[in-house]
Structure formats: C-alpha cells, structure tokens
Structure 1
Amino acid sequence: MTFIESIKVCFSKYIDFNGRASRSEYWWFVLFIVLATIVADAISYKLSGLFSLATLLPSIAVATRRLHDTDRSGWWQLIALIPVLGWIAIIYFLVQEPKEPNRFGAAPTSEALSET
C-alpha cells in the first residue's frame, strides 16, 4: 500500500472499527499524521489542535484494525495509558506480523483496498 492509498483508506474508514489493517496502511497513516501535525504546528497551534482533533477517530480506528490484524482486540490500545511500558507494549503489538487464521476476518489485500 502506498502513502496516498493509506490516507484515502483511513479517511474512508473514518470510524470503521471492524476488519483488519495492514502494517503499511497503519504506518503510512502514522507518518502522515506526524508530518501534517508538524506543518500545522508551524503555522498555528490552534490549527494543530484542530487537526489532531479531526484525526483522533481515524487514528483510533486504524490502530484498532491494525491490532485486529495481529489477532488482538482494539481495547489493547488502552495499555498505552500506562507510562513508558504501555507505549513500548502497544508499539510492539502494532509492528508484529499478521496472524493467520484470524477471528477478525480475511487478511487485507491490495485488491480489496482498491475497491474501497
């Protein structure tokens, strides 16, 4: 999945917490969020705050789908509330290989992504 495809898919599935997201989909979207936040912050703190608020739900949704790809519940994101160790654990979960077979559905494919 490319950078642009990832952004399109993540915004088209704005509040879709079902299914799975590939590693490339998740990490390209994270890169977009980081870069856009830096640019928005350089322009205005208010703009940066608005951007962060506007991308909060898509970020949670794609992280949930990414955790589904590793056969974990999206509720595992709450572990990030634990200082330091929680962040390390959630990053570890998000970088893992997909698990097959998986209770959250079929693995994301490039054909399925181009149809959305």
Structure 2
Amino acid sequence: MNFVDAVKQCFTKYVGFEGRAPRSEYWWWVLFIIVVSIVLGSVRAGMLANLFSLATLLPSLAVGARRLHDIGKSGWWQLVALIPLIGWILLIYWAVQPSEGDNSYGPAPSIASN
C-alpha cells in the first residue's frame, strides 16, 4: 500500500473500527498526520490546524483500532496511551509487529499491502 492509497483508505473508512489495517496503512497515515500538522503549524494556521485535528481524530482512532485487530488485540487497547510514556511505548511496539495470520477480526491482509 502506498501513501495515497493509505490516506484514501483511512478517509474512506472514516469511522470503520471493524476489520484490519496492515502496518503500511497505519504508518502512512501517521506520516500524513505528522506532515500536515507540521505544515499547518509552520504557517500559523491555528484555526485550520484545530479543524484538521478534529477532522482526523476519528479516522486516527479507527486505523489504530484496525491496526491492533491485525495483531489480534482489541481496539480498546488504545486506551493504554493514557498511561504516560509506557502506554505510548507499548502502542508503538504493537504497531510495528507483523500481521497475525487469520484471526477473529478477519483474514490476514495481503503480504503486498503489509
């Protein structure tokens, strides 16, 4: 999956918490969020930056949940991010793990998209 496909997929599944997201989809989405946030922050577009953050909140949570589903964990594990430092480290560790085979959240994503 490439950058454009990943961003389109995340906006298409705006609040789609079901299914699975391969590593590539998740990390391209993270890159998109970081780049756009830096650009909006550098041009001092405060109101626009706030609207962007609000508009991408649900897709970010959805792709995070789908990424956790891909390794066999519930999307609710995202709440571990509320634990300072350790929660973020744990989520990053899980996000870089390879896809689990077929599991209760659906069939494994294709190797090409991982």
Tell me if TM exceeds 0.5. yes
Mapping of 1:68-107 within 5 angstroms? 68-107=69-108
Could you tell me how far 1:91 is from its partner in structure 2? Answer: 0.7
- Name the counterpart of 1:29: 29
Unaligned residue ranges in structure 1 (runs of 5+): none
- Name the counterpart of 2:15: 15
Q: Secondary structure at the match of 2:27?
A: helix
Do the aligned partners of 1:23 and 1:66 also contact (CA within 8 Å) in 2? yes
Aligned residues: CA RMSD: 1.5
Unaligned residue ranges in structure 2 (runs of 5+): none
Letter matched to residue 13 of structure 1:
K
CA distance in 1 between partners of 2:70 and 2:41 (Å):
32
CA distance in 1 between partners of 2:60 and 2:14 (Å):
9
Could you tell me how far 1:110 is from its partner in structure 2? Answer: 7.9
CA distance in 1 between partners of 2:17 and 2:110 (Å):
17
Moved over 6 A (4+): none
List per-residue Cα deviations over 1:29-79 (Å, max 9, x = no partner): 100000001111122122111101100000000000000000000000000
Q: TM-score, normalised by structure 2?
A: 0.93
Letter matched to residue 58 of structure 2:
L
Q: How many residues align?
A: 112
Deviates most, 36-45 or 71-80: 36-45
Letter matched to residue 17 of structure 2:
F
Could you tell me how far 1:99 is from its partner in structure 2? Answer: 1.0
Distance 1:101 1:72, change over 3 A: same
Could you tell me how far 1:101 is from its partner in structure 2? Answer: 2.9
Q: Kindly, what percent of the aligned residue pairs are identical?
A: 55
Q: Secondary structure at the match of 2:30?
A: helix
CA distance in 1 between partners of 2:108 and 2:91 (Å):
21
Q: TM-score, normalised by structure 1?
A: 0.91
